[in-house]
Structure 1
Amino acid sequence: MLKNGVLLGVFALVCSALVAGVNQLTRPQIEYQQRQQLLSILHQIIPDQMHDNDLAASCSLITAPDALGSTSAMPVYVARKQGQPQAAAIETVAPDGYNGKIHLIVAVDTKGTVLGVRTLEQQETPGLGDKVDSRKSDWVERFVGKQFDINNLKVWFVKKDGGEIDQFTGATITPRAYTKALRNTLRYFIEHQAQIYASKSNCEEPQS
């Protein structure tokens, strides 16, 4: 039994070392792919003609649990042209999705007009709640072009709650949570826009 125990211990150590080695070897490639995906999304939601800076590098972290749905610091990417801020893309969380948290990003210009929205991570029900994913449907596109007005929040509720946003047939919880996250995030942006644009870049850069 002692011999078997020693063999099992050695086997476990070897396996752990192999897993650690594989993780170490693949980490740079994974981080590179994550950066490329992020760049692709940023360029989808903020038109290239609006900026001349590196969006991914112009990133700062903000902590606003009530507005952004997370106790963790969330990235915000600022688009600038000739040094002047033109727009911001803010990562945020809808904590009350049907199957858990929904991680999304919304781009908004200096006037509070939504430029684009993308879902970064979700686990909603296939065929129902997963329509928040732009690869599944064009539902998120209905926010594009809408201007956020604190004095007219009706736009930013689903129709079942008296608003103007279509919910999904057979699924209200997901679009309600998503719209709420956008509403809270955009309100935070309007109220803290100057602070956001003045923040220094302090996000950790992925290694390529």
Structure 2
Amino acid sequence: MKSSNNPNILKTSLRSAVKLSLFVVVSVILLLAVKALTDPLVAKAEKQTLLSTFDEVLPVDLYDNNPIQDTLLIEDSGSLKQLGSDEVVTLYRARKAGKPVGVILTAIAPNGYSGQIHLLIGVLADGRISGVRVLKHKETPGLGDKIEIAKNPWILEFDGRNLREDNDPRWAVKKDGGDFDQFTGATITPRAVVGAVKRTLKWINQQGETLYD
């Protein structure tokens, strides 16, 4: 009785295994197809968000060129590490009558409460921050999302600040002895943003006028 059932059991098991394998293969193909279709759309939407935020971090009346056509690609690993990115970063340069006005670039705070926080930062040629905005994040609604200008004016605390040797220690949240406010119950998020902006500003200071060459 057992020997006569074994071939049937084996055939049934093989059929189930084949069906399962086909299901997995088809599912993977469908997922890859959906990803291939949606990735360009997501990239386009993110690019549009970035461009529409330019005026918020560097007022358009300060320059007369087109920063979209005046760019510098940041590719070396040391610079990318300071900017928190593992991909090439595009730096947009603003000028007026040919003279440097400021730069706009993206940076990432890798240590947000819920992961990466993507930032757009504008810095004037004299080293002062002209504006910072959050492009993308996954921070907790009602707590960490106060880094968004639409939810809270906190991000405006960066406006006009620079980074010098004498004020370096002040680049921290108040809980850590610095100048920046933190959110009740959500110190990790503003701490991450302050750190990322500080590292970016430090990198810009190190590069100096070469950013406009």
Deviation of 1:76 (Å)? 1.4
Match of 2:133 in 1: 118
Query: Is the 8 Å Cα contact of residues 45 and 115 (structure 1) preserved in structure 2?
Result: yes
Greater relative CO, 1 or 2 (CA 8 Å, sep 6+):
1
Unaligned runs of 5+ in 2: 1-11
The number of residues matched between the two structures is 198
Unaligned runs of 5+ in 1: 199-208
Match of 1:203 in 2: none
Superposed CA offset, 1:49-78 (max 9, x none): 211122223353344244112232222111
Structure 2 CA distance for partners of 1:16 and 1:158, relative to 1, 3 Å = closer
Match of 1:36 in 2: 48
Deviation of 1:17 (Å)? 8.6
Runs of 4 or more off by more than 6 Å in structure 1? Answer: 1-29
1:63-102 mapped onto 2 (5 Å cutoff): 63=77, 64-102=79-117
Aligned-partner Cα distance in 2 for 1:9–1:71: 35
Q: In the alignment, residue 208 of structure 2 is paired with which amino acid?
A: Q
Aligned-partner Cα distance in 1 for 2:80–2:40: 31
Query: Is the 8 Å Cα contact of residues 45 and 107 (structure 1) preserved in structure 2?
Result: yes
Q: Greater share of helix residues, 1 or 2?
A: 2
Match of 2:73 among 47, 57, 60: 60
Match of 1:152 in 2: 167
Deviation of 1:136 (Å)? 1.8
Query: Is the 8 Å Cα contact of residues 108 and 115 (structure 1) preserved in structure 2?
Result: yes
Query: Is the 8 Å Cα contact of residues 150 and 187 (structure 1) preserved in structure 2?
Result: no
Q: In the alignment, residue 61 of structure 1 is paired with which amino acid?
A: I
TM-score by length of 1: 0.79
Structure 2 CA distance for partners of 1:49 and 1:20, relative to 1, 3 Å = same
Match of 2:157 in 1: 142
Structural RMSD (CA): 2.6
Match of 1:170 in 2: 185
Deviation of 1:186 (Å)? 0.3
Aligned-partner Cα distance in 2 for 1:114–1:195: 18
Larger Rg over CA atoms: 2
Deviation of 1:6 (Å)? 10
SS of residue matched to 1:56 = helix
Q: In the alignment, residue 65 of structure 2 is paired with which amino acid?
A: N
Deviates most, 35-44 or 83-92? 35-44
- Identity, in percent, stands at 38
Structure 2 CA distance for partners of 1:197 and 1:161, relative to 1, 3 Å = same
Deviation of 1:83 (Å)? 1.9
Aligned-partner Cα distance in 2 for 1:197–1:104: 21
Q: In the alignment, residue 84 of structure 1 is paired with which amino acid?
A: K
SS of residue matched to 2:120 = strand
Aligned-partner Cα distance in 2 for 1:98–1:31: 24
Q: In the alignment, residue 36 of structure 1 is paired with which amino acid?
A: Q
